[in-house]
Structure 1
Amino acid sequence: MLNHNKYIFLPQLVIVAALFCACNGTDGKTSQSASGGKIDSSNVENVGQTQEDITKPVDSAKYFQLQKYLANGDTTGKWPVKNDVLPIDGAILPFNRIIVYYGNLYSKKMGALGEYAPKEMWKMLHAEVAKWNKADTVIKSIAAIHYIATVASGTPGKDNYYINRMPDSQIDSALAIAKMHNAIVFLDIQVALSTIQKELPRLEKYLKMPHVHLGIDPEFSMKTGDKPGRKIGYYDAADINYVTGYLAKLVKENNLPAKILVVHRFTQGMVKNYQDIKKQKEIQIVMHMDGWGEPELKKGTYRHYLYREPVQFVGFKIFYKNDLKKAPNRLMTPDELMKLTPKPIYIQYQ
């Protein structure tokens, strides 16, 4: 199933951005806090994790114990993964489950992040986190935001890459929204007719921040030259290894805690040669089940493409609207998702 819900054209960026800022009392550099005051985004690099979090040594025994817990009794030998590596200090997974709202500040159609004003969005997201902490008392759930910083487009643009690169002012606004609750941030890249090698360096200054992580979307990696949205793209293990190598270098050179890389997936062909994906102690890889539909279809996708091709960690996506397109569909609950093998450690709501 083609994820049309994620794909959107952004033809009038300046006008929509102005409307968003006007509605939320921000000029693109600041955002309203829960107490009504403005948050200055000029110092966002200091939020997200405390110094203690960044330098906290990884408990190796607890790490592998939790990985076994996430394997949820699997007896096939696939889970927990055999070639796992112990991460460097400050690693978030599997000691926390990450609950994120996904979207773009220019559009109300790409997800809850952007659809709702920040204060309302945080109220909703914290309610989801509370549900997860009730469903799983072993692994603590924490809130995060996942912002699409490079968006696949229906128009070619000046470089014919069919992408819209979000201006720094809007990425800064996303970071300011995260700062409202000291949350970690994921920046997402949809490369379209460009490449991950060309687009990743543009976000380097943000990825040098200890609380900023990365998402990449094979669906919109159009190696065949097709326009995004008409066919489903893909990444090879070599592309993913380029990204993990790039991030690992940033981590080592800047003395950062472990980075998380989220790779979206909902078909077999979206990720090729998964067995060649290399593990690095500086990077934690989440293969994310990104498809929408009725519960049985979503669980089938999870079994066929994520369970059968283990990499390291697994995520799961809930679509507030698209999962309900066909009556009597419903949203899957944390209790249901906790029964999956393996248990997902990253949950994204759109």
Structure 2
Amino acid sequence: MNMPKLANIFLSAFISCTLLASCSSDAQNKQSARSDTGKKGDQTKEEVLQPIDTAVYDSLMRKMANGDTTGKWPVKSKVYPKDGAILPYKRIVAYYGNLYSKNMGILGELPPKQMLARLDGEVKKWEKADPGTPVQPALHYIAVVAQGDGGKDGKYRFRMPEKQIDSVMTISRMRPNMIVFLDIQVSLSTIRDELPRLEKYLKLPNVHLGIDPEFSMKDGSRPGKRIGTYDAADINYCINYLGKLVKDNNLPPKVFVVHRFTKKMVTNSANIKPTREVQVVMHMDGWGEPELKKGTYRHFIYSEPVQFTGFKLFYKNDLKKAPNRLMTPDELVKLKPKPVYIQYQ
């Protein structure tokens, strides 16, 4: 595959209301995650968490590898999660976006009831395609957004006000046991400056994290001019930060999603260290026709194993070139490894 061509195809960003959208070319469930069932005030109800059965966990990880014979999958690390882990017991199916813009994803494009009804439909498709794997619905909200304006501090990012994040939490409660991801696009800021600002939400048992290397502009470029990058050191910082929250607040493990569609977006991936408290998903975030997307998954996700994998589907951008269609759950469950995190934008 022509790597420069890949980068050119995927380097796509646009400004909407000064917000730069992240349209990146862009067994059985024996674990029970706690969920946010509280009302405003972020009160939660805890479920009884069953201990990890390592034999079941290993069996599910082999199932996820989907017959891979290279030795890459399942990942050999024997890091078993603490009680209450979502992965690999369930597959997460998430809707992505931002409430300020209809152009940044399905989460902000449709009114909540209509959006959730459509997500319900996708969940049913995944349950049919892989009936042995329960589906965990999720909302993936961009809480720090790369933008075309530098702002007062010249960091080219817009932090969502808490009332907007609270709105997403309220929407999530319209479905039982729904989880939420808060996504960070740092631009010219740093993950060390942005992540702690979301701590009050990440202390909740049903809130998880996503970060987008595409908009981590370590060279000082404006977001959208080129593709950004994170190193394993940045990713491990997030893992350790989340891990401390899990330990200090007696939470179930966090799921941590890292977007990726080029090699340079994540450097030194072999040094990324998942822990008992944090489950790491390397998420294929590129758009295009099915064969191109499968190639991106093979080159940048499959070839550099970390722990779990994800796959993104774009309701609009994936239709731009022949055969002008979205990949289906039936197709995606044939991948090696099977993605256990699916995101729709």
**Structure 2-normalised TM-score?**
0.90
The one of 282, 290, 296 equivalent to 1:295 is 290
Shift, 1:57, TM fit:
1.8
The one of 10, 17, 22 equivalent to 2:17 is 10
SS across alignment from 2:137: strand
The one of 194, 200, 204 equivalent to 1:199 is 194
One-letter identity of the residue aligned with 1:221: S
Does structure 2 conserve the Cα–Cα contact (< 8 Å) formed by 1:145 and 1:178?
yes
Whole-Å separation in 2 of the counterparts to 1:169 and 1:40: 16
1:163 to 2:153 alignment: no
In structure 2, the residue matched to 1:111 is 105
Does structure 2 conserve the Cα–Cα contact (< 8 Å) formed by 1:2 and 1:232?
no
1:259 to 2:254 alignment: yes
Give matches, 1:273-288, under 5 Å: 273-288=268-283
One-letter identity of the residue aligned with 1:216: I
Give matches, 1:20-31, under 5 Å: none
One-letter identity of the residue aligned with 1:239: D
SS across alignment from 1:52: coil
In structure 1, the residue matched to 2:138 is 144
Give matches, 1:329-344, under 5 Å: 329-344=324-339
1:57 to 2:51 alignment: yes
One-letter identity of the residue aligned with 1:319: F
Change (3 A) 1:335 1:204: same
Does structure 2 conserve the Cα–Cα contact (< 8 Å) formed by 1:8 and 1:110?
no
Whole-Å separation in 1 of the counterparts to 2:213 and 2:259: 7
One-letter identity of the residue aligned with 2:215: F
Does structure 1 conserve the Cα–Cα contact (< 8 Å) formed by 2:289 and 2:322?
no
The one of 244, 252, 260 equivalent to 1:249 is 244
The one of 235, 238, 246 equivalent to 2:233 is 238
Whole-Å separation in 1 of the counterparts to 2:292 and 2:89: 29
Does structure 2 conserve the Cα–Cα contact (< 8 Å) formed by 1:3 and 1:291?
no
The one of 41, 44, 48 equivalent to 1:43 is 41
SS across alignment from 1:73: coil
Shift, 1:328, TM fit:
3.0
In structure 2, the residue matched to 1:269 is 264
One-letter identity of the residue aligned with 1:223: K
Does structure 2 conserve the Cα–Cα contact (< 8 Å) formed by 1:93 and 1:284?
yes
**Structure 1-normalised TM-score?**
0.89
One-letter identity of the residue aligned with 2:337: P
Change (3 A) 1:233 1:11: closer
One-letter identity of the residue aligned with 1:42: K
In structure 2, the residue matched to 1:190 is 185
Shift, 1:44, TM fit:
3.7
Whole-Å separation in 1 of the counterparts to 2:38 and 2:88: 32
Whole-Å separation in 1 of the counterparts to 2:228 and 2:146: 12
Whole-Å separation in 2 of the counterparts to 1:84 and 1:10: 46
Whole-Å separation in 1 of the counterparts to 2:215 and 2:78: 28
Does structure 1 conserve the Cα–Cα contact (< 8 Å) formed by 2:10 and 2:287?
no
**Structure 1, unaligned runs of 5 or more:** 13-38
Does structure 2 conserve the Cα–Cα contact (< 8 Å) formed by 1:96 and 1:139?
yes
Shift, 1:60, TM fit:
1.5
Deviations 1:135-185 (A, max 9, x none): 001111121100000000000001100000000000000110001103100
Shift, 1:249, TM fit:
0.5
Does structure 2 conserve the Cα–Cα contact (< 8 Å) formed by 1:320 and 1:349?
yes
Shift, 1:45, TM fit:
4.2
Does structure 1 conserve the Cα–Cα contact (< 8 Å) formed by 2:65 and 2:73?
yes
Does structure 2 conserve the Cα–Cα contact (< 8 Å) formed by 1:314 and 1:344?
yes
Does structure 2 conserve the Cα–Cα contact (< 8 Å) formed by 1:45 and 1:211?
no
In structure 2, the residue matched to 1:71 is 65
The one of 54, 65, 85 equivalent to 1:91 is 85
1:211 to 2:206 alignment: yes
SS across alignment from 2:40: helix
1:179 to 2:187 alignment: no
Indicate the RMSD between aligned Cα atoms, in angstroms.
1.5
Does structure 1 conserve the Cα–Cα contact (< 8 Å) formed by 2:282 and 2:306?
yes
Change (3 A) 1:56 1:43: farther
Q: Answer 1 or 2: which has greater helix percent.
A: 1
In structure 2, the residue matched to 1:28 is none
SS across alignment from 1:264: strand
Does structure 1 conserve the Cα–Cα contact (< 8 Å) formed by 2:11 and 2:226?
no
User: In the comparison of the two structures, how many residue pairs are matched?
Assistant: 319
SS across alignment from 1:269: coil
Whole-Å separation in 2 of the counterparts to 1:294 and 1:272: 26
Deviations 1:235-264 (A, max 9, x none): 000000000000001110111110010000
